[in-house]
Structure 1
Amino acid sequence: MEIKLTKLTLVNFKGIGNFEFNPDGKNATIRGDNATGKTTVADAFRWLLFGKDTADRKDFAIKTLDKSGAAHSNMDHTVEAIIEIED
């Protein structure tokens, strides 16, 4: 069985307002400087699949925070993926 990630979309997930990742089922690497959202993308994907973050915690904050660290209210937080499964 082969499982391929085609698309991953984050909206208001932790510090990311809107992000779309399109590996189209190919191997891909997300790179960037420290504190630019790499772990947040990994947390979002793991949360979508398993309800946990990359540190294996179920009770972590997914809400977007303002500059003072307070959670924004009345915001939808979503993570969506298109995954292909081939036999």
Structure 2
Amino acid sequence: METNEIVECIRPLLTRFSEDEEVVRRLVATDGTFDALCHQYRRVTDLLKVYKAEADQEAEIKWLEKRRAGLEEELLTRIEGYQPQ
């Protein structure tokens, strides 16, 4: 994955967890599960933007916000538990 592609993938996550940017970048590069979670987080964040722009999408927005919160919790657990090797 190219550097620009990585940055685009994790941009929403870096916005949310800016104080942990170095750890996020290292985990994306070395942990496939973390990278997959980042992709899911970006997709959910992008979908939320689309649904919020449309009318009558309250149920979808509520589900996506709940999903995003769950992903944030899992990602933060991994960020906080990261031990450099």
The alignment's TM-score, normalised by the length of structure 2, stands at 0.29
Work out which structure has the larger RCO, using CA pairs closer than 8 Å and 6 or more positions apart in sequence: 1
Length-normalised TM-score, structure 1: 0.29
- Write 1 or 2 for the structure with the bigger share of strand: 1
